[in-house]
Amino acid sequence: MPSDSMSPAGPVSGARLGSLIRQVLRSPVRQFRLGNLRRWSERGIIALVMQTADNSLTLSLRRRFGRLVMTSAQGHGEPNPSHLPQAHTAAAAIARRVEQEGGVSAEARGSWPEVFGIPLTAHFLGGAVISASPEDGVIDPYHRVWGHPGLHVVDGSAVPANPGVNPSLTITALAERALSYWPKTDETDQRPSQ
């Protein structure tokens, strides 16, 4: 049976950190091996779990020890969860399946940010809302910034929702669509004016 090493302990509390410390004290050699990065990709499975909550991170530059570092904090919307119980349930199911099918020991483990309650995201998306008017967003349906028709947003900022997977193809599709409306040399712009 897979070890339930990072069981859902709820919001950031001493429970999750305490669970990690107990595991390290119980089997320090095993925990060291699990943390060894050598050939890690051959021994691990990453289970990406996305959520649909309307929340955000606010990024800022701060000075620490004389150096500029980027930090994140809770943005607008719902609070950013540091632990997703459904993610742990999915990871435990994967670990059980690996043990059953592969005959090897498997564990459902959390991540360091989860243990310490640090919200993170794999892909920074959104922010430049596509809208029908400047009152409701940043860019028009042709990806022109409202009030600045020569300025276009064709990167991840224009992605309207979490695609649930690596967003590179979504970003490319949005950019190709936006650029397909650009007039060619010696053509008139067929896009409506702002």
Which residues are catalytic, by number? 123
Q: Is 171 helix (H, G, I), strand (E, B) or coil?
A: helix
For the chain, first and last CA: distance in Å? 62
Cα–Cα dist 164/142, whole Å: 24
Cα–Cα dist 58/130, whole Å: 20
* DSSP one-letter string for 17-80: HHHHHHHHHH-HHHHHHHH--TTHHHH-----------EEEEEEEEEETTEEEEEEEEEEESPP
Residue 27: partners with Cβ closer than 8 Å, 6 or more residues away: none
